[in-house]
Amino acid sequence: MATGQLFSRTTQALFYNYKQLPIQRMLDFDFLCGRETPSVAGIINPGSEGFQKLFFGQEEIAIPVHGSIEAACAAHPMADVFINFASFRSAAASSMSALKQPTIRVVAIIAEGVPESDTKHLIAYARSNNKVVIGPATVGGIQAGAFRIGDTAGTIDNIIACKLYRPGSVGFVSKSGGMSNELYNTIARVTDGIYEGIAIGGDVFPGSTLSDHVLRFNNIPQVKMIVVLGELGGRDEYSLVEAIKQGKVNKPVVAWVSGTCARLFKSEVQFGHAGAKSGGELESAQAKNQALKDAGAVVPTSFEAFEASIKEAFDKLVEEGKIESVKEFTPPPIPEDLNTAIKSGKVRAPTHIISTISDDRGEEPCYAGVPMSSILEQGFGVGDIISLLWFKRSLPRYCTKFIEICIMLCADHGPCVSGAHNTIVTARAGKDLVSSLVSGLLTIGPRFGGAIDDAARYFKDAYDRGLTPYEFVESMKKKGIRVPGIGHRIKRGDNRDKRVELLQEFARTNFPSVKYMEYAVQVETYTLTKANNLVMNVDGAIGSLFLDLLAGSGMFTKPEIDEIVEIGYLNGLFVLARSIGLIGHTFDQKRLKQPLYRHPWEDVLYTK
């Protein structure tokens, strides 16, 4: 493996299995370092294509999303690092696919628990094809001031504290990603900082070893000294021991193998990593530390003394003139995300939508403050749900029952009315459910099903002003306005609409007051003296009875009642109810496989 530097300020990567935060952190690091181009060239999400919006400093950018590794590599031939955030179940297969791409040089596998046999195949393929695998079970790696893999080195605050926004003189390699963060900070306190840091991962078989990266660091001129943090278990450190003994490493190496406390336990101890388990004396931390010391590495007496040993080695290089002072600069501030700034109380931002009827932010959705579980436990019906979502209160059972009766009675009125006709014609034209439904709903208006609000509005105004039925009807006639809720094309005084009778019967039995309905009946009595078809229709019945519901329940103020009528709540009831029938007509036509409708010539009057 040896060779030298893996990354640079122009390195670009392909990110497998989209994760917003790690990608954004990479882009924030790029901006912090003053890179001209983002380090993430493309995102790979199997089966998906398009773009993902992220930020590069204050600028919002669109990063391409590709559906396959092959497509991404073809689209971004300069991207030679593959960052794999797949789960342990698919990490090996996707990593092997990436290694087989000629443009990919480095693969970082983040997942823990990748099967060891799969990892061995990846290692063998990478070594035979002169490619590098970092991981599995790794946080990744970082080249200070140049390139960062995923979440390496933690938060931006930590990166600034560790001076990772510009290169130092120390090459660092560890098995542990978490301890890497600790050592980046330690090294920054007593040296000029990291040049490159790698966490090889804690699995038994890492894709690359401690010695692989130490030998690389030895070939990088900017790296003046090397810090190594090993751990008990395995024999990786002994390959480093041999490399030092054979003179393959000619730069100072300060090393420590953690896990010396294992001897305090009477039985074998498994530490956090899969590979952190001593299988014998040679794999103990004490044996490895002694071997490294005997080979010529600087090994402190304890982890607590590690920092002092690093400082001593660095200061000696400075005294010898082998390290020049690094030019410090203040990195640019990373713009804070709006959500983060709001949570921290730094800014306030106006909302764009106001909602008072439902809330889905908690453990379960709430309708007008009532949790979904309570709705089910109390056996709420459709009428109860409408009372919560439309009226923002739980109405008495007779009110919600009336609402349900209205929905049942108005759900459909046969295939010949305009709404059903439109829906049928649209469905037979091969259109989808929503298109067929909407074509029928669009016919609802003053002439079809949309007179409920007007009926309520005019009946209420006339009754509240104390007009007699005669005065009301005649005043409407003078204005040239038909009385809403009165009149039917089919029904007559001697053949009344059964729906109207059912609604009135329910109201007389259950409502505390039916003053508006009785007034509407008196108006009907007068209009029938003029023509036998001027009978109360279902719009008039619902309109007048809803006024009684609102006024008689005692749960609404007069201004609230006026607002409900003005906004169009009552027509909303007809729209909701009739949608059931229109959907039924759509399904009916499609089930019957009816052909395209063409109106017959004989039903058209052709005239000049």
Q: What angle do CA 224, 229, 232 make, to 5 degrees?
A: 150
Does an H or E element contain 230, and which?
A: strand 225-231
| Residues forming beta bridges with residue 194, ordered by sequence position | 170
Return the sign of the alpha-carbon dihedral for residues 462, 463, 468, 469.
positive
Identify the residue whose tokens are 């089910």.
376
Do the bridges between strand 225-231 and strand 170-174 make them parallel or antiparallel, or are there none, so unpaired?
A: parallel
* Strand ranges of the sheet holding 81-84, from the earlier edge strand across to the other edge: 50-56, 59-66, 40-44, 13-16, 81-84, 106-109, 132-134
- Does the annotation count 585 as an active-site position? no
Does an H or E element contain 240, and which?
A: helix 236-245
Q: How far apart are CA 162 and CA 158, in angstroms?
A: 6
Per-residue CA distances from 540 to 97, 458, 482, 548, 565 (Å): 71, 10, 12, 12, 13
Tokens of residue 526, six digits: 């007068």
End-to-end Cα, the chain, rounded Å = 92
Query: 3-class SS at 501?
Result: helix
| Residues forming beta bridges with residue 109, ordered by sequence position | 84
Query: 3-class SS at 456?
Result: helix
Which of 76, 273, 488, 585 is flagged as catalytic? 273
8 A C-beta contact, residue 12 and residue 80:
yes
Q: What angle do CA 377, 382, 387 make, to 5 degrees?
A: 90
CA-closest candidate to residue 137, choices 186, 177, 188: 177
CA-closest candidate to residue 418, choices 246, 578, 594: 578
Does an H or E element contain 225, and which?
A: strand 225-231
Q: How far apart are CA 523 and CA 476, in angstroms?
A: 12
| Region label for 344, one of left (φ > 0), alpha (ψ between -120 and 50) or beta (otherwise) | alpha
Which residues belong to the active site? 273
